[in-house]
Amino acid sequence: MRGFIYQLNVSSGGVPKKRVEVAEVTEDGLAGDRQGNTRVHGGPQRAVCLFSLERIQAMRAEGHPIDPGSTGENITVRGLDWRLVEPGKRLRVGHEVVLEITSYTDPCKNIAGSFADGDFSRVDATRHPGDSRLYARVITPGTVHTGDPIEVMPAGSGVPLT
């Protein structure tokens, strides 16, 4: 399964995260990106947050004022079947980076502005399976660019799924 990076997003803390064209991915996440509350965001198991452009577009169609980066994701992905991207899966991002999905993210009040009536539970994995953002740890660091390919790989392997 293959898609591509639609948008890379960083901030000095908080949301929305702003678009950048190129990012260095380290074990701590995207260079230049900071989290406001490191108790619940960031760290090696939550180094990178990912979300699906198709899910963002579907939520906009429901009337939510959500945009790429507005819910705090570092990488907005296009073209992957988001229901199949789940904890344990690995992603080859660009030509160097390998990420491993570690968990679904817990939505918080900081992203309420992206949702009609502030209902940030719209991206809760339990209430809305397949619509959550995902956290990942960095297996192999490197540089990524907007437009780079993303491939879903079997957990623990270097072979992309087709």
Would you list the domain boundaries of the chain? 2-153
Token digits for 131?
A: 């619509």
> Which pTM does this prediction carry?
0.92
Tokens 């090696």 label which residue?
44
CA distances from 75 to 17, 62, 140 (A): 10, 22, 16
Q: What is the pLDDT of residue 4?
A: 97
Q: Could you confirm whether domain 2-153 is CATH 3.40.980.10?
A: no
Q: Contact at 8 Å (CB) between 160 and 3?
A: no
State the 10-residue block means of pLDDT for the chain, 162 residues long.
95 92 96 72 86 98 97 97 94 97 94 95 95 97 98 68 48
